[in-house]
Amino acid sequence: MALFLPAGTLSYWQGWVFLAIFFVSILAITLYLVQRDPQLLERRVQAGPAAEQQKTQKLIQSIAQAAFIMMFILPGLDYRFGWSQVPLAVSVAGDILVVLGLTFVFFVFKENPFTSAVIEVGAEQSVISTGPYALVRHPMYIGALVMLVGVPLALGSWWGLLTIIPITIVIVWRLLDEEKFLAKNLPGYVEYYARVRYRLVPFIW
């Protein structure tokens, strides 16, 4: 609805291709978790502002939801009014980024069974420092950002890339607040924080 209604038509082929690729990717991840880690799947399903326990995270999640919806509304409007002329190759590249980003998130799920969709510490949770966590402290957000950059490109919208700005700000805000929470509540996280210097981008930040 947030995509085709702003577009004013169902003949939005970039939208249909993106939705097919996105939902097939999500379905594949979901089926894997159903078989291999149903507890992680349950933690991932419990998401959104209402699921968060911290007031700051409720606010962050509310802003993130609004920005995510705009990521579909703006390209839809772009398609309706013809603001962008995006080459086919760029749209294909956007779809590839969506798949790559979700694939990276999937491997983070495999490495860390405690990747809840809300900021919390499970009863048996421990610090994960292997795989991508040996390089950065928040690798899942890397995959999410790659996927999110791909969305407006896949939808054929240059203007849609503007939505990456508020989403990136919200992600940075979220992970900084998350680190404070984990430092207080997850044993061993302070030591991990000192050992792994970079939060999101290796050798940069």
DSSP letter string, 137-151: S-HHHHHHHHHHHHH
Measured at the CA of 166, the angle between CA 160 and CA 167, to 5 degrees, comes to 85
Question: Does 20 score more than 70 pLDDT?
Answer: yes
Beta carbons of 131 and 190 less than 8 angstroms apart: no
Query: Which of the two residues, 128 and 40, has the higher pLDDT score?
Result: 128
The pTM score is 0.89
Q: Which domains does the chain have, with CATH numbers?
A: 4-195 (1.20.120.1630)
pLDDT of residue 45: 74
Q: Which sign, positive or negative, has the C-alpha torsion 149, 174, 45, 38?
A: positive
Element housing 162 (H / E): none
pLDDT of residue 55: 82
Going by the DSSP 8-state scheme, the letter that residue 56 receives in this structure is: H
Q: Which residues, including other chains, have CB under 8 Å from residue 201's CB and lie 6 or more apart?
A: 136, 142
Average pLDDT of the residues of the chain: 89
Looking at the chain, the whole-number percentage of residues with pLDDT higher than 70 is 98
